[in-house]
Structure 1
Amino acid sequence: MSLFSKALASIGVGNAKVDTRLRQTQYRQGGLIEGEVFIQGGQVEQEVDELYLFLVIVYYHEGSQHEYVMEEYRLSEIFTIGPRETKVIPFEIRLPFDTPVTTGGCPVYLKTGLNIQMAVDPDDTDGIEVLPHPLVEKVLHVVETAGFQLVDIGFEFENFFSRHPFIQEFEFKPTGDLRRVLDKLEVMFYVGEKELEVIMQIDRKATDLMTSLEEALELDNRTVRFGVTKEDIEDGMEELQKKVSELIHRHAR
């Protein structure tokens, strides 16, 4: 192959191309992602140092959009792709349990790329839909049955330990009698395979001089933590519903 073709490949013309095809595009937190990476050789033989896959979270903070690489997966060792050659590399990766759910406008995508020395690195992006872990879904349902409506899904960037710069936050508004004593309820999760830790921030309403003073000093929030396991709901949701309702009413006073 001519030096001219190699020069063109170095700037991305006639370079290798990559295309990732997922078995599905909808997953639960902690779910298994299966797919194949199709690599099409370009006009010249090229050595690929690395085939990588990034899990990227898109979020907004302080008025700006940010992209955060949550996980990086290396899918292959060094290999050579010949001119017009096609390689298919299957893969299985585990979606982290703390991947944010995409409901509420939090895009999540997989970015696949080839690391080729002395050339423009080709890449491919594939958006995915992330649904709540089954235990998270159960807790969210229990909170709604306790008299709340989900109004927003965002991120908390301070006060809660996380291996990432943020933790996802579910904001609820009271719909029944609790409207007289609560402004809102914020719920966050640390998710594991068979259990999760629930953090509820109960924001009390100013109803008298004391609670008005607490609100002015930002002392009106009550933080409650509790765990939920698969065993807790094996026989139904009644005990979990009772526990959540009692915690909310106790700290609403």
Structure 2
Amino acid sequence: MSIFTKTLASLGVGNAKVDTRLKQTQYRQGDYIEGEVYIQGGQVDQEIDEIYLYLVVLYHHERNQQEYVMEEYRLSEVFTIAPRETRVIPFDFRLPFDTPVTTGGCPVYLKTGLDIKRAIDPDDTDGIEVLPHPLIEKVLSAVEKVGFQLVDIDFEFENYYSRHPFIQEFEFRPTGDLSGVLDEVEVMFYIGEKEIEVILQLDRKATDLMSSLEEALDLDHRTLRLTVHEQDVVGGTEELQKKLEELIRRHAH
């Protein structure tokens, strides 16, 4: 193979190519992702130092769009791919429970790449749809049935422990009699396989001099916690609704 051809490959012309193919594109938090990485050799022998797979979240913060790598996976050891050779590398991994749901306009995708010495590294990007963990879905439904409407899904960047720079929050507005005492309720989750911890932050409405002063001093929030186990909702969400309504009403005033 000519030096010219090798030089072109180092510039990305005639380089090896990578294509990731997922078994499906829709997952729930905590599901297993299965797929295969197809590598097509270029015009020259090339040494692949590694195949990397990133789980990436694209989010907005302070008017800036930021790319955050949640997880990184290495799929192979060093190998050489011959011209026009095809290699298929299967993979599977568990989607982290705290992967943000994509319903709120938060793109999540897998980025696959080849690390090739003295060449431009080829890569491939595949978007996925992330749905809520089944327990989260039941809690969100219960909050709505108590008398709230989901109005936004966003991120909280302060005050709550997370292994990431953010935690996803679900913002609800009261639609019933609680609209007289609450501006909104923000709901966040710490997720396990068979249980979740629910964090409710009540934003109380200023209704008198004391509550107006609390609002001015940013003291009008009440933070509540509730643990929900898988067995708590086996027969339906009625008991969960009662617990949520009692907890919210007790601390709303």
Q: TM-score, normalised by structure 1?
A: 0.99
For structure 1, the 5+ residue unaligned runs are none
CA RMSD of aligned residues (A): 0.6
Report the Cα distance in structure 1 between the residues aligned to 2:91 and 2:76, rounded to whole angstroms.
10
**In 2, distance between residues paired with 1:197 and 1:23?**
31
Distance in 2 of aligned mates of 1:78 and 1:46: 11
Deviation at 1:133, TM superposition (A): 0.2
Cα deviation, 1:37-77, whole Å, max 9, x if unaligned, reads 11000000001010010000000000010000000011111
**Residue equivalent to 1:110:** 110
Q: Distance in 1 between matches of 2:191 and 2:67?
A: 22
- 1:11 and 1:114 map into 2 onto residues whose CA distance is 14
Q: What is the one-letter code of the residue matched to 1:106? A: C
Paired position in structure 2 for 1:243: 243
2:148 aligns with 148
Q: Residue 156 of structure 1: CA displacement?
A: 0.1
1:172 is the counterpart of 2:139: no
- Once the two structures are TM-superposed, the CA of residue 14 in structure 1 deviates from its matched residue by 0.4
What pairs up with 1:37-52 in 2 under 5 angstroms? 37-52=37-52
Within a 5 Å distance, the mapping from 1:1-253 to structure 2 comes to 1-253=1-253
Deviation (angstroms), 1:78? 1.0
Q: Give distance in 1, aligned partners of 2:99 and 2:152.
A: 17
Ranges of 4+ aligned residues in structure 1 off by more than 2 Å? none
Measure how far apart 1:163 and its partner are. 0.1
User: What CA distance in whole angstroms lies between the structure 1 residues aligned with 2:38 and 2:202?
Assistant: 49
Take 1:109 and 1:237, find their aligned partners in 2: how far apart are those partners?
32
2:56 counterpart SS class: strand
SS in 1 for 2:161: coil
Which AA in structure 2 matches 1:70? M
SS of the residue aligned with 2:150? strand
Q: Give CA deviations for 1:80-132 in whole Å, capped at 9, x if unaligned.
A: 11000000111111100000000011000000000011110000000000000
Residue identity (%): 76
Structure 2 gaps of 5+ residues are none
TM-score (norm. length: structure 2): 0.99
SS in 1 for 2:215: helix
Distance in 1 between the 2:135 and 2:74 partners? 30
Alpha-carbon distance in structure 2 between the residues aligned to 1:117 and 1:194: 45
Q: How far apart are residue 236 of structure 1 and its match?
A: 2.3
Deviations 1:3-27 (A, max 9, x none): 1111111111100000001111000
Helix, strand or coil at the partner of 2:75: strand
Deviation of 1:235 after TM superposition, in Å, equals 2.7
| Amino acid paired to 2:102 | T
Q: Secondary structure at the match of 2:178?
A: helix
2: CA distance between counterparts of 1:11 and 1:191?
Answer: 45
